[in-house]
Amino acid sequence: MLKNSSRLHIPEPGCRPGETPDMSHIKVPPAGEVRRPAEDVDPAEIRDLAWALIRVLDDDGNPVGDWNPGLSADVLEKGLRAMMLTRAYDARMVRVQRQGKTSFYMKSTGEEAVAVAAALALEYGDMCFPTYRQQGLLVARDWPLVDMMNQVYSNSRDRLKGRQMPVFYSSREAGFFSISGNLGTQYSQAVGWAMASAADSDNRIAAAWIGEGATAEGDFHHALTFASVYQAPVVLNIVNNQWAISSFSGIAGGERTTFASRGLGYGIPSLRVDGNDFLAVYAVTRWAASRARSGLGPTVIELFTYRAEGHSTSDDPSKYRPGSEAGAWPLGDPIERLKAHMIGAGLWSEDQHVALEKELDEVVRAAGKESESYGTLKEGARIPASTMFDDVYKEMPPHLVEQRKQAGV
């Protein structure tokens, strides 16, 4: 007989600071074993893919299986360059934050393929609704680093006029929707944008990214409801990087099932992919984008990856996880894996890689020098205070005219 007693379960991570990292609970299947269904497949026929792990690159860097996208050398090199440039950009911006030139920064180390591969798989006109660590979308779309840095510094050339936190980029021209500090909002926005695109018979689709922790927000479920009901042309990405600030993925439900499986209850095809495998991320994004563009509705994609650095420059991950945990991550580093693939295919070399690293460091250094000439947090030119009254109304109403006069700006 069962005892009539209950207890509260508190999810606990597998290891704590000072302990030896243990990743034995992560099952890494062989690359190439997951089938690639037709793009017009009935979602009910691929429910198992929400628990599988789509991988293309094997341990030797060889592309195997049905999901191999067969990318050209040009696309591979562009992807490698964009990931390396993103990492070099991140490194510099953390250094300048430590120097007090900006207040805040968030790196995407270990997650570069999540954004870069998706950007190359989507069409340039598709609208992206990112969260914090998708600066690779802008880099892959060749958006100027100087403009990104200006936003981080909130300097005199910041197009957003200092109204957003550092790294909360926005670029209509690059199809990069304004980042919000409120978790989950971009999901509902992406679905709404996609519905409007479909209503206008537009061929453009939307893509959104959310952290696994933010799937506990109401916006996540509201978005999936509308996406399913109206068959919105949208790709809904869940970046499961194992940690939401200091809370591990189990707090958001990761102990019980995969995050991809959350799409199944809404009748949405749901895939789980190795987020550190550039080819796999590209292939899955392309599959979902083609499905959306063909009028077949949304797709949920869980990108299984690892946040190698702290949540932000305000976070010390050594307080809640072993310092060596990133090195124990079984799916490796996305840049090193793509590099190994290209070298193995005879498309790249160690010498080329070293040369590119030096070139990109110089690109970032030059961009940084230019951006800092327009001002930083501590010194240089500032955006006029009078701009605080701008950009709300087409024609400024009398009460704002009066307030500006009183402010003397």
pLDDT 10s digits, 387-407: 889 998 999 999 999 999 998
Residue 386 is predicted with a pLDDT of 85
All residue ranges of the chain with pLDDT < 50 are none
d(CA 269, CA 43): 5
d(CA 70, CA 72): 7
Residue 333's SS3 state is coil
Please list the residues that pair with 240 across neighbouring strands: 304
Phi and psi at 49, nearest 5°, equal -70, -15
Please list the residues that pair with 54 across neighbouring strands: 273
Residue 254 is predicted with a pLDDT of 94
CA dihedral 254, 256, 258, 260 (to 10 degrees): -100
Residue 4 is predicted with a pLDDT of 72
Please list the residues that pair with 272 across neighbouring strands: 302
The token pair that represents 57 in the structure block: 């690159």
Phi and psi at 128, nearest 5°, equal -105, 135
Residue 187 near residue 223 (C-beta atoms within 8 A): yes
d(CA 337, CA 331): 9
The token pair that represents 41 in the structure block: 């497949």
Is this structure's pTM higher than 0.85? Answer: yes
Tokens 């793509």 belong to 338
Residue 238 near residue 213 (C-beta atoms within 8 A): no
Alpha carbon distances (Å) from 50 to 196, 204, 258, 320: 28, 26, 7, 29
d(CA 150, CA 137): 17
Residue 358 near residue 81 (C-beta atoms within 8 A): no
Give 127-177 pLDDT, tens digit per residue: 999 999 999 999 999 999 999 999 999 999 999 999 999 999 999 999 999
Residue 409 is predicted with a pLDDT of 80
The conformation of residue 47, written as its DSSP 8-state character, comes to: G
Alpha carbon 150 to its chain centroid, in Å, reads: 21
Phi and psi at 57, nearest 5°, equal -85, 125
Element at 89 (helix H, strand E): helix 73-98
Residue 208 near residue 179 (C-beta atoms within 8 A): no
